[in-house]
């Protein structure tokens, strides 16, 4: 099942990248890789990333910094992010991550089956969301022709689409009561 978007895996360690790619390969989606937060940001900003599997720590921008940046931009704010950490449960990290809109925080090493299940669900949900957004934009473009002198997104004035009202005497012919 090919798609125009990929799952981007970000970790500074080559062996971890390989293990995560091997765990996700059965999903059949395109997989990308990056070894730093900065490199991940560049790839995401170029487009076509549908999910980010991101190590919390790494060279350059750390995982939380990457998420903060992504959430500020309209085109990237809804990309699902799963954070990976090798330091065990950390309440402060988890709390901060969820406040930023991260989908999940997993501790390494991850169970490949559980990882595939989570990633499949998040990735497919994101794709459906994007497809619905596209369909909504297309429907709006078809049903809301631009009004002269207004931008297409400008709201109409109240009553602008109501038909002109005629005087009641004009609507019905006079009845002869004789």
State residue 176's pLDDT score: 54
- Contacts of 146-154 with C-beta under 8 Å, sequence gap 24+, read none
Q: Report phi then psi at 65, rounded to 5.
A: -65, -40
Interval 15-54: pLDDT, tens: 999 999 999 999 999 999 999 999 999 999 998 899 999 9
50, 6 contact by CB (below 8 A): yes
Q: How far apart are CA 7 and CA 2, in angstroms?
A: 11
pLDDT value at residue 146: 67
> What whole-number distance in Å separates Cα of residue 40 and Cα of residue 11?
10
Q: Is the distance from CB of 33 to CB of 64 less than 8 angstroms?
A: no
pLDDT at 39: 93
Per-residue confidence (pLDDT) for residue 58, from 0 to 100: 77
For residue 50, give the 3-state DSSP assignment: strand
The C-alpha atoms of residue 50 and residue 58 are separated, in whole angstroms, by 21
- What pLDDT shows up at residue 177? 54
pLDDT the model gives residue 160: 42
Model confidence pLDDT, tens digit, residues 62-92: 899 999 999 999 889 889 999 999 877 778 9
Structure tokens, 55: 């190590």
Tokens of 87: 């330091």
pLDDT tens per residue, range 115-174? 999 999 999 888 888 888 888 888 888 887 766 765 555 444 444 444 444 444 445 555
pLDDT of residue 62: 87
Here the tokens at position 60 are: 């350059």
C-alpha of 134 from chain center: 12
pLDDT in tens, 91-127: 899 999 999 999 999 998 899 999 999 999 999 888 8
């Amino acid at each position: 099942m090919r798609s125009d978007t990929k799952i981007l895996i970000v970790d500074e360690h080559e062996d971890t990248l390989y293990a995560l790619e091997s765990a996700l390969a059965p999903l059949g989606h395109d997989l990308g890789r990056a070894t730093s937060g900065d490199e991940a940001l560049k790839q995401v900003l170029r487009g076509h990333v549908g999910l980010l599997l991101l190590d919390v720590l790494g060279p350059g921008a750390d995982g939380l910094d990457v998420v903060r940046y992504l959430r500020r931009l309209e085109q990237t704010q809804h990309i699902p992010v799963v954070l990976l950490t090798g330091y065990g449960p950390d309440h402060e990290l988890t709390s901060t991550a969820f406040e930023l809109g991260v989908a999940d925080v997993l501790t390494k090493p991850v169970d490949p089956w559980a990882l595939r299940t989570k990633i499949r669900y998040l990735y497919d949900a994101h794709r459906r969301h994007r497809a619905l957004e596209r369909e909504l934009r297309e429907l709006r473009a078809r049903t809301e022709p631009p009004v002269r002198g207004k931008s297409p997104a400008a709201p109409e004035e109240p009553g602008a689409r109501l038909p002109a009202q005629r005087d009641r005497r004009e609507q019905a012919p006079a009845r002869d009561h004789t």
